[in-house]
Every structure is written in structure tokens, then in C-alpha cells.
Amino acid sequence: MGTTQLRTEVESFIKKADSRFLKMVHAMAVAYSQKEIVAYTTDGIPLTKEAFAKEMEEAEQDVKSGRVMTTKELKKRIGTWKKS
């Protein structure tokens, strides 16, 4: 079935559709039109490919600028935190 025939058939379904079907088609169309999620932050925030690339560029700049610490330094810092 070609694109034109599919479009015609889908239009026919939509013209006869009830509210439930229309809501499902709408949700699917919205999801399809949104940018693809490729990763999540440690806080669970979704990232598109573009946002992920920006995060990686910022991380690389942190490394180049020395805004990093070794595992040993991190463990030492964690050891100074108050335990509740």
C-alpha cells in the first residue's frame, strides 16, 4: 500500500472515529513529531540528541579547564560529609 492510499484510508478512519480513537491518533502524532530522546540526565530529565551533544561539549570543557577530580579526591570529599 502506497503513501497516497494509506493517507486516504487513514482519513476515512478519522472521519468515522469516536473520541477515544481520535485521542489515540492525536497522542501518536504528537509523540511522532517530537524530537527523539537519546539519553537522560542523572535527575531523569530527557535529552534530545542536540541537548546530549551540548552536555558532552560542556563536560569536555570541564575536563580541559581542570574542573574535575579524581576518584580518590571524591572519596576524600565524601568522607567529610555529615552522616545523618
Q: Return the domain boundaries, the chain.
A: 3-66
**pLDDT class of 84 with cuts at 50, 70, 90:** low
Kindly report, residue by residue over 25-75, the tens digit of the pLDDT: 888 887 777 788 888 888 888 888 889 999 999 999 999 999 999 999 999
**pLDDT class of 19 with cuts at 50, 70, 90:** very high
From CA 71, how far away is CA 54, in angstroms rounded?
25
DSSP state of 5: H
From CA 46, how far away is CA 22, in angstroms rounded?
27
- Biggest CA pair distance of the chain: 68
Q: What is the dihedral of CA 60, 63, 47, 75, to 10 degrees?
A: 160
